């Protein structure tokens, strides 16, 4: 559409945003997003909706609209980061649970699956870095947190099991 949409149409959408009807407000936000106009009025309206609307669905739609317009709010960045962080844990949990649930075949150890899972994680991280950088940052943070937890667990297990080899074993 045009860079400066019709003010009557925008005023109608503003009235819809003030409505108590949830679907009507969601449709108004989606209509504002479809205008694809990066003017200050629409940006201001969407930012206000993100920060003040009582329903989380409407706030989420407004944050997504700002993202599509190339204008992210702090809440939008946080949502994208959370998607990457929680998504990485969830997807990798499902992948590793399915791998460990499989019976071992001769010559295959469960940690050999890293030869497949690690490159998939890295390719996903690189692709997301170009497409949705806040999701990629969440994924990278989850990966780093997992590495830190695994390192601390390894140190703890080694500390507990630090028994000299000179101790006779029955």
DSSP assignment string, 46-70: HHHHHHH-S-HHHHHHHHHHHHHTT
Mind listing the pLDDT tens digit for each residue in 101-121?
777 677 666 667 778 888 998
Mind listing the pLDDT tens digit for each residue in 128-154?
998 888 899 999 999 999 889 888 888
Q: What secondary structure letter does DSSP report for 18?
A: T
Helix residue spans in the chain (DSSP H): 7-17, 22-35, 40-52, 56-68, 74-101, 114-131, 133-160
Q: What secondary structure letter does DSSP report for 3?
A: S
Residues of the chain with pLDDT > 90, as a percent, come to: 15
Band of pLDDT at residue 8, cut at 50, 70 and 90? confident
Q: Rounded to whole angstroms, how far apart are CA atoms 10 and 3? A: 13
Q: Rounded to whole angstroms, how far apart are CA atoms 86 and 57? A: 19
Q: Rounded to whole angstroms, how far apart are CA atoms 154 and 151? A: 5
Q: Rounded to whole angstroms, how far apart are CA atoms 44 and 50? A: 10
Q: Tokens 């045009």 map to which residue? A: 2
CA atoms within 13 A of residue 139's CA, in its CB half-sphere: 21
Band of pLDDT at residue 36, cut at 50, 70 and 90? low
Domain boundaries, the chain: 7-68, 75-160
Q: Tokens 């500390």 map to which residue? A: 159
Q: Tokens 């806040």 map to which residue? A: 134
């Amino acid at each position: 559409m045009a860079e400066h949409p019709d003010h009557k149409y925008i005023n109608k959408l503003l009235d819809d945003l003030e409505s108590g009807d949830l679907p009507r407000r969601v449709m108004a936000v989606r209509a504002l997003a479809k205008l694809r106009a990066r003017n200050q009025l629409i940006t201001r309206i969407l930012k206000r909706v993100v920060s003040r609307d009582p329903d989380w669905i409407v706030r989420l739609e407004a944050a997504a609209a700002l993202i599509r317009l190339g204008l992210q709010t702090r809440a939008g960045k946080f949502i994208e980061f959370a998607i990457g962080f929680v998504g990485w844990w969830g997807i990798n949990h499902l992948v590793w649970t399915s791998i460990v649930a499989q019976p071992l075949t001769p010559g295959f150890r469960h940690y050999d699956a890293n030869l497949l899972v690690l490159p998939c994680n890295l390719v996903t991280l690189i692709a997301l870095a170009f497409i949705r950088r806040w999701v990629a940052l969440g994924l990278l943070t989850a990966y780093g947190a997992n590495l830190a937890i695994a390192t601390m667990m390894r140190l703890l297990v080694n500390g507990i099991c630090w028994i000299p080899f000179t101790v006779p074993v029955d």
